[in-house]
Amino acid sequence: MSVDRKQGTPKLLCDVFKTPRYPDMYLYVVRDEGMSRVRDELLARFDDPELALSFTLTRSRKLAIADSATVFDALLDQGYYLQMPPITSMPVLKV
């Protein structure tokens, strides 16, 4: 973890991986650690990971789906964050 000198906020350089097996599922890891702290059970299901993007994460950065503070804390605590696909609602049937 480093600190943004302009704002004094903690930041992490993270990599985000995807897998063709599970569309819209993403695995965030700290770049310096890679997947070394990801549980073996998860790695077995997250086969053939592809790097989707890399970026600098802060607790206040806006993310598309996940809460940045939750992701940030998970990366510090367990070394990864698994973003599940969004739950889509069932269409309402009109009678």
Q: Mean pLDDT, the chain, as a whole number?
A: 87
Domains of the chain, first to last: 2-83 (3.10.510.20)
Residues 57/11, Cβ–Cβ less than 8 Å: yes
The model carries a pTM of 0.82
What SS3 state is found at 44? helix
In which band, very low, low, confident or very high, does the pLDDT at 48 lie, cut at 50, 70 and 90? confident
pLDDT tens track for 50-91: 999 999 999 999 998 899 999 999 999 999 999 998 776 555
User: How large a percentage of the chain has pLDDT more than 70?
Assistant: 83
